[in-house]
Structure formats: structure tokens, C-alpha cells
Structure 1
Amino acid sequence: MGRPFTFTNEPFSLLFLFLLPVVTQGVFDYRDAVIKSLLYFEAQRSGHLPYNQRVTWRGHSGLTDGLDQGVDLVGGYYDAGDHVKFGLPMAFTITMLAWSTIEYADEITESGEFEHVLEAIKWGTDYFIKAHTHPNVFWAQVGDGSSDHYCWQRPEDMTTPRRAYKIDAENPGSEVVAETAAALAAASILFRKSNPHYSHLLLHHAQQLFEFGDKYREKYDKSLGIVKGYYPSTSGYGDELLWAGFWLYKATRAEKYLDYVIKNAYTLGGAGWKISEFSWDIKYAGVQVLAAKLLVEDKSASEHKEILNQYKSKAEFYLCSCLNLNINNSNVHWTPSGLLYIRRWNNMQYVVSATFLLTVYSDYLQNSNQTLQCPKGSLQPHQLLSFAKSQVDYILGSNPMNLSYLIGFGSKYPNRVHHRAASTVTYKEHGEFIGCSQGYDLWFGRQKPNPNVLTGAIVGGPDLNDEFRDVRGNFMQTEACTYNTAPMVGVFAKFFRLEEENGGARLKDSSK
């Protein structure tokens, strides 16, 4: 479950990237990580499950979502261990899963998982199309966190209210509609060859949603107060509007979208904000990396070089902050063993998003024959990749706990994940109804491992001292979210390809 960001970071003792040992102990099976990560999305599915569902301990759920409001909202994803369908993090999940696939399509294909990643994306985009019932209407949420959290039930047994909440012209919400526009635009790129009609449909909805979000500008948590306790918009809507604008430009190459992100670069904060976090709430660092990539990948953007370079400078502030090479206490904390640390509630979400941007930017620097210039030193592309690998390998088990934070990967991983469906006997094995409080009595408080393995989930992870308690009630550490796993699909595939091609040599020599 998400929590808001802050614009400042507490000081951390200076660690130089140059002295960070490259993690080489043991070669992880990165292909297996790709395969397992995509299974997690099947476990999070809401709606009528397809015939080829591989996570067999899940069943159909939420089959009447939207019925009371006269709209079909069956489908989509549960964000974490509960059963609310939160629009903002769901859309961010799909945007990041699509971006991850766009960047590393060849690598994911080589791993044999390209069809599965498209299925995962389409499960989300199909739902967004349903939720966009009118050009200026978007159904942003189904269920509410308060009533949902009183119950510990399987999704197949849900008795909590399933009221749907919408955004419209009278009650606008720019963040959620713009993020959904970004997700649909990014996905349209992936379906362009295999399903051009669907790609066109996605783009049609993306353009309408963007126009809606831009015309009726308002914070979505002001219109939908029910989201404030779970996914409030601390950063406002400027980042989402720019984010959607960049993705629509990538998907269409229409000059009006490029003009939008250039003309609004400062008024919406993209070329102005220096941020040390990238998350479901704040996308500025992602926006800034997309802008930097345009300088190399798109010749038509050259006339806007000055503004794009301002975006780029802010992207590099974020990366230097992660690498502890900024000044004035603007660096991200590291744990004693080198894991990025932002805050104790689901810290791993910030680790994976940073790891993704570091990996993508390493490719960008390599392709453009550049280095990263930080206040405390410059870095070669392979040094960014080396640091990204240290984060990946920490997640997969190279850490003081010798624990994989990717569930189901390796021989040791958390087995008491804070997740209603995984922690309760399956509907297929025990078809009797499990009530709201009955689930707490019989399943939540059990000391035993979960009966179902939530394969591919990345949990909240260790604290600032690299310590982790595998306790179901320790939700800050043991709950997983879809946006934890989404950015890592392509990253895992990237390192799988490198291991295949180079036997790890390029990475093992990267400290030289």
C-alpha cells in the first residue's frame, strides 16, 4: 500500500560509489526471476479468470464490480494484499510494466516471456477501457480501504462494499486520468504490430483522457476524499500531465504533445523540480529521463535542446542522489549493505524504480557515448549498471539475511506475506465461505507459513539496518504491491541477456 513522499532527505554518511564492491558472489538465474515476476500479476487479477490462468490457487472474484452504478468494472488488478482496485497505482503499474517492456523487448523475448508480459499489460488496459465510459468520465476506484481492511477474506469470498467512484468534469482528478493516459499510450506502442486495432483503441482512450485531465485540472484526492488515507497525491498533478504528454508523444510523434511538454516544462515542474524519489505518486524523475532520451533518440526534438537539457539536468540530480554523489545532504540513504533506503513503509518500491531508471540511463549514456556528471565525481555507464546490479542482487538474495525478497525465487524467501488470498486456504481446497472476522481468527494470526506462495511478488523489504521480520502482521515489510514488481521485469531480462552474452564478465569487471 502506498504512502506519500517528501521532498527532502535526511543526511547520510558519505559513501563513494567507486568504493562499493561489485556483487559477484553467486550468479543468479535472472531468467527465472523474469518468469516468476510475471506470475505475480496473475495472482493479483480481479474478475473472471481466463482458461490459461497459471496461478491456480486463485479463483474468480469481483464479478459484480460496478453493477450498482450501472457500469461494467469487472477486471483489473488488486494493488497489494487487499481487494480495493485503486486507479492511480494500478495505472502506474501498467505504465511501468509497459516501459520496462519497451526498453527490453528483445531481452524479454529471449527469456521466453514476451507473450506473458503482453497478457499482464492487457489485463490492465482492458479494464481501463471499461472504466473510461465517457470522454470526461473515468471510474477511478472500486471498493474502499476502510471497510476492506476490517476483513481478512479471500477475494472469492468478498463481503465488503464494492462501491465504484468516478472522476468527471464536476469532480475532476488530473493525476489518475493522466496516469491512465500514460499507461494506455505506452501500451499502444507494444501492441502496434501484433494488434494494430487494439493499439489504435488504446491511443484513442489515452488522448481523450489526457485532454480531460488537462482541461479540468484538479487534484484527484480533493474530488475523491476516500483515496486520501491510501494513495493521496502529495506531488500534485503536474508530473502526471507531463508524464502523459511524453508518452503520447512517444506513441504518436504528434508535435502537439512535444510542444506541450516543452511549453509546460517549468509551469508543471518537470524542468524545475529536483527530486530524490520516483514512485506511484511522483513521476518527475521518470519524466526527466524520458526527456533526456529524446535528445539522442529523436532528431525532431533538437530544436528544443535547451529545455530538454534542463529536464536532463534534473534527471541526473536524481541519479546522482541515488549514487550518493550529490552535495548539501540531498543524497538517498543507503543501508549498511548498500540498499537504497527512502522510508520504512514498502521501501522496496523506491529501490526498484531507482534500479530501473539507473539501468535505462546506463543504456542511454552508453548509446550516446556520455558519462554521468555528478557534483562529487563522474561515472561511466557501466558504473551505473554495476550499482543497479547491486540492487538487483540484493533483492534476489545477496544481503545480510541471505533472503530473496522476490517471493518464490531461490531457496529462502519470506513465507508469511501480508496477503489475504495467499495466507488463506484456497477456495478450491476449502469451498466453504470464510467470513470477515473468521479470516482474522483462523488465518491472519497463524504462525505457520502461507498455504499459497505469492510467486513473483516483491515485498516491502528490510529496514534501514538490513533487518527483516517475516511476520504477516508486519505489513510495512511483508506486504507486496504490483508496482514493486512491474519495473523489474525488464531489468531482470536485461541482466539475463548480459549473463548469457558475457558470462557476467562485463559486470564483474565494472569496478575497474
Structure 2
Amino acid sequence: MENKCKQKKLLHCFYVLPLFFVFSNAGAFDYGEALTKSLLYFEAQRSGRLPYNQRVPWRDHSGLTDGLEQGADLVGGYYDAGDHVKFGLPMAFTVTMLSWGVIEYGKEMASAGELEHALEAIKWGTDYFIKAHTNPNVLWAEVGDGDTDHYCWQRPEDMTTSRQAYKIDVNNPGSDLAGETAAALAAASIVFRETNPHYSHILLHHAQQVFEFGDKYRGNYDRSVGVVKSYYASVSGYMDELLWGAIWLYKATDREEYINYVINKAHIFGGTGWAITEFSWDVKYAGIQIIASKLLSEAKHKEHKGILEEYRSKAEFYICSCLNKNNGTNIARTNGGLLFTRQWNNMQYVSSASFLLTVYSDFLANSNQNLSCPRGNAAPEELFALAKSQVDYILGLNPKTISYLVGYGLKYPTKVHHRGASIVSYRERKGFIGCTQGYDEWYGHNEPNPNILIGALVGGPDQDDEFLDDRGNYVQTEACTYNTAPLVGVLAKLNQLDGLHLIGSY
């Protein structure tokens, strides 16, 4: 049975591509098309009652009784990958990254005509989190069971697997899940502040309550929700998520209590102690450190300069390791130039690194600074060049000349490990397809999936740039929402620069 794209360990990093390679293919990709398709993917992952403007025609309503047995309305949200479990931690990280992308590059999304779709993708997640937060000290963590789900190969519309729901509460804490959910809600409240102020206020209210709950009743959520351990175990613990939630609440509220939390707990929670070479659904330190670094440019934070400088030092360790400019600890890369963290679903680390590199490049450029690494300085352009090279690799500039963003380009994975995409659409064949029937008729056959999972970023190639397009090769062909989410903002920026003919001179 599959172990999923969630399996992971900690702390790895990458190398930088030569600049001549990065820019030799400038203008070859339609980043606007890639942006459009990346946002379309989230509609394919929707659970619940689909809206009238649903753009993915092969999906229909599903999970309409979620939470019913527990007396809660848990209809909605996202399936994380190719299965039908709704895992709270990666879902929240997905929404946080989509929101951060809009905060940084919303104007670029608007100019591409995609901002509304980005807002819809965020709101589909936050609407669910509001439902899942049924009490100030209760947050529903998961709907469905990964183990029983993986015995079935069904369309979500036919789902017969367990929809048991699991929660965290005072007696069963989950500070990591609460912290990430608070971050998602707080970041989204910033996104909707101008266009939907009432909704923004509701999001912020829930964010503050969820954070307070997670901070007061501390513990790892995978100890309270044991069924998640094989899929989304909290390897990094909960301290990074509490710092993550606090810094997003500070950005959303400008309240001193949250910046004081980030400053006062910097050492004991590892924010200024961990030098990290990974940013993911589990490990948030690099993201925290980069946001904290950006606060240094604001005069009102002078009193916190010392601690913020420590955060910045660790942020730059991450960036330098991506650029291969640390002494000793750097992230590996393939011969084709792909940042390579680990075999299982490596593209999640590539997209998140590309986003952080882009954000930090902008920060350095806007403050007229260069990056100082142990093995040499780097101008902002070099950071962005690396980010662009990774996106270009994803879109087809790689030894296999295949686009790992499904549906983009002439050649892309056609046998994605995804139940809904691999079985004929419910709209075409309404007859029930059972667990084993799905495996017998659809999982094992060699034909391309009948439905294209447009915008999905699959796990990608191995350390030798090799890739096998096979439904059973879930290590490489399964896609997850948090793979695509960080890519959205970077694609928006690349599209804008491409439109201005500034890609090669940025």
C-alpha cells in the first residue's frame, strides 16, 4: 500500500544554477498560462457541495455528510492529494501559502486576471476552518481515515470509506495544528481586509481564538490524533507553528502582544536557534525567519533589532544553503539543476524554496542590500534567478523535457496517482464504482487518466532527474495541494516581469 507524499524527514537543502543556464531560456514559458492552471487545480481538490461556477467539469459534490455523526458541519475543505482524507495541518499550510502569495503578489495576479480565482481558492479553505472551529477550544483536525481510505480506489463522489472525524481540544491538544490554522486564518484576514472587511474580521476573530487555545493547551496534534501519524506526523513539533501563528497574527493586527511573543520566545522555541534547510507543511522556521527579517526595515522595531537580527541570520542560512554558499551545509541538486531535498514528493520543497527565494530577493532589492553568505555575496538577482530556474525546470526545462505541472505544455504526466482523475467522470458514468472495482478497472490499467488534473504539481523526478509516469509510482506521480500553493505567487511575478520584458534583466 502507498505511504503517501507526506512521508518526510528534516533538514536538507539545494545548489544554485549557473546564471547563463537560468536565462538562456528566458521567454520560453507562458507563466500566465501556468498561473491560470495552477489555480484551477484547487477546484479539482474541493470537497463538499460544488458551486455553480465550478470550472473542473469532471468533479461533482462529495463528502456531504462529513461531521454528521459527530454533530458538526464539516462539509467542505480540500482533499490533500490523490485520496479523500481531509488533513487539517497540510490544508492550513496550503491556505497560508496561497494567502502569502496574494499578500506579496496580489497586484500581479490581478493584472493576469487571476486574483479572484486565488481569493476563491483561499476562501474555500477558510470557510472550512471556520466550520471546523466549533468552540474556542475545539478544532476538528481530520475527516476520514488514511488507512481505510487507501484500501479503496474510488471517485470522491462514490466514497464509501470511513468519514470519522477527529478533533483537538483541551484534553487532546494540538498546538501545531492550532498554530498553523491560526496562521492561515490571520494571513487570509489580511487578504480580505479591503474586499470583504466583515469576512476579514470573522477570520481574525477565529485566528486569535485558535492561537490562544493552541498556546494555552500545548502538545503535538499527532499524539491526540493517532491516525495521522503515518501521513502527517509533526516531526518538528509545535514550537515553529506557534511562532508562525504569532507572526502572522502580528502582521494582521499590529498588536504588540504578538510581536512580543515572537521576540520573547525566539530562543526557547527555536526561532533563532534552528538553522533550517527545509520549508514545508511541517517545518515553518525558514518562513518565520524571513518574515521576521523583513520587520527589520521598519523603524518601530528598533527595540527588537538584536533578536530580529538573529532571526535574519538563520533566514540567510536557509537562503545561502539554497545558493550553495554555506560552508558545509547546502541543499543538494540534480545534474539537471533541480533543488533536491528527498526522494518522496521532492517538488513540495522546490516550490516552497522558490517562493522564499523570490520574497527575500524582493526584500533585498527594495532595501538596496546584497546577501552575505560564508562563500560569497549574492545580489537580489541571483536569488530570483535560482527561483526562476526551478520554475522553468518544473515547466519543462529539464533533462526529460517534461512539464511536472500537469496540463501545461505538450508533455506532462498522464497517469497521475489520483483517484478522481484516474476514473471516468461521475458526470459521464453515474453508476457506482466500488473499492475493489476501482482498483481492478482503473488503477492498474496502462491508459492515461480519463481526466486531466490540470495545475497539479506532481512529486517529480529522483536525484538523477529520472521520472516514471506510472499511477503506481506514487512517490513521483502523486500531487499535493501544498506543492502547487507556493508556486502561485512566483508564477504571478514571473508573468508580470515577462509581460514587461524584464525577466532577463531583473
Q: Which residue of 1 aligns with 2:439?
A: 440
**How far did 1:18 drift?**
5.4
Structure 1 CA distance, aligned partners of 2:149 and 2:504? 49
Identity %: 66
Task: Give me the CA root mean square deviation.
Answer: 1.2
Q: Which residue of 2 aligns with 1:350?
A: 349
1:360-380 residue CA offsets vs partner (Å, 9 max, x unmatched): 000000011111111111000
Structure 1 contact 4–281 (Cα < 8 Å) conserved:
no
Structure 2 contact 16–322 (Cα < 8 Å) conserved:
no
Structure 1 contact 17–324 (Cα < 8 Å) conserved:
no
**How far did 1:8 drift?**
5.7
Structure 2 CA distance, aligned partners of 1:481 and 1:16? 25
- Please tell me the residue identity of whatever aligns with 2:411: K
Structure 2 CA distance, aligned partners of 1:6 and 1:84? 24
Pairing 1:410-449 to 2, within 5 Å after superposition: 410-449=409-448
**How far did 1:17 drift?**
5.4
Unpaired stretches in structure 1, ≥5 consecutive residues: 508-512
Q: Which residue of 2 aligns with 1:467?
A: 466
SS in 1 for 2:21: coil
1:395-440 residue CA offsets vs partner (Å, 9 max, x unmatched): 0000011000011111110000000000000001011000000000
Cα 1:16–1:440 change in 2 (3 A) is: closer
Structure 2 CA distance, aligned partners of 1:237 and 1:343? 23
Structure 1 CA distance, aligned partners of 2:48 and 2:413? 27
Q: Which residue of 1 aligns with 2:64?
A: 63
**How far did 1:327 drift?**
1.1
**How far did 1:303 drift?**
1.2
Structure 1 CA distance, aligned partners of 2:234 and 2:370? 34
Structure 2 CA distance, aligned partners of 1:207 and 1:19? 44
Structure 1 CA distance, aligned partners of 2:445 and 2:315? 45
SS in 2 for 1:56: coil
**How far did 1:484 drift?**
0.4
Cα 1:16–1:129 change in 2 (3 A) is: closer
Pairing 1:271-310 to 2, within 5 Å after superposition: 271-296=272-297, 298-310=298-310
SS in 2 for 1:230: helix
Alignment of 1:22 onto 2:26: no
Q: How many residues are paired up?
A: 501
**How far did 1:299 drift?**
2.4
Q: Which residue of 1 aligns with 2:497?
A: 498
- Please tell me the residue identity of whatever aligns with 1:437: T
Structure 1 CA distance, aligned partners of 2:225 and 2:166? 8
Structure 1 contact 245–258 (Cα < 8 Å) conserved:
yes
Unpaired stretches in structure 2, ≥5 consecutive residues: none
Q: Which residue of 2 aligns with 1:510?
A: none
Q: Which residue of 2 aligns with 1:39?
A: 40
Structure 1 contact 5–277 (Cα < 8 Å) conserved:
no
SS in 2 for 1:48: coil
TM-score of the aligned structures, taking structure 2 as reference length:
0.97
Pairing 1:251-262 to 2, within 5 Å after superposition: 251-262=252-263
Structure 2 contact 250–258 (Cα < 8 Å) conserved:
yes
Structure 2 CA distance, aligned partners of 1:127 and 1:487? 20
Structure 2 contact 12–330 (Cα < 8 Å) conserved:
no
SS in 2 for 1:408: coil
**How far did 1:107 drift?**
0.4
Cα 1:435–1:415 change in 2 (3 A) is: same
- Please tell me the residue identity of whatever aligns with 2:359: V
Q: Which residue of 2 aligns with 1:265?
A: 266
SS in 1 for 2:140: strand
**How far did 1:19 drift?**
6.5
Q: Which residue of 1 aligns with 2:372?
A: 373
**How far did 1:22 drift?**
1.9
Structure 2 contact 23–504 (Cα < 8 Å) conserved:
no
Structure 2 contact 48–63 (Cα < 8 Å) conserved:
yes
Structure 2 contact 12–278 (Cα < 8 Å) conserved:
no
Structure 2 contact 17–389 (Cα < 8 Å) conserved:
no
1:101-150 residue CA offsets vs partner (Å, 9 max, x unmatched): 10001100011001110000000000000000000000000001000000
**How far did 1:24 drift?**
2.6
Cα 1:336–1:112 change in 2 (3 A) is: same
Structure 2 CA distance, aligned partners of 1:266 and 1:502? 44
Q: Which residue of 2 aligns with 1:125?
A: 126
Q: Which residue of 1 aligns with 2:393?
A: 394
SS in 2 for 1:472: coil
Structure 2 CA distance, aligned partners of 1:185 and 1:503? 33
Q: Which residue of 1 aligns with 2:135?
A: 134
Structure 2 CA distance, aligned partners of 1:501 and 1:360? 19
SS in 2 for 1:502: coil
Structure 2 CA distance, aligned partners of 1:16 and 1:201? 42
Structure 1 CA distance, aligned partners of 2:407 and 2:35? 12
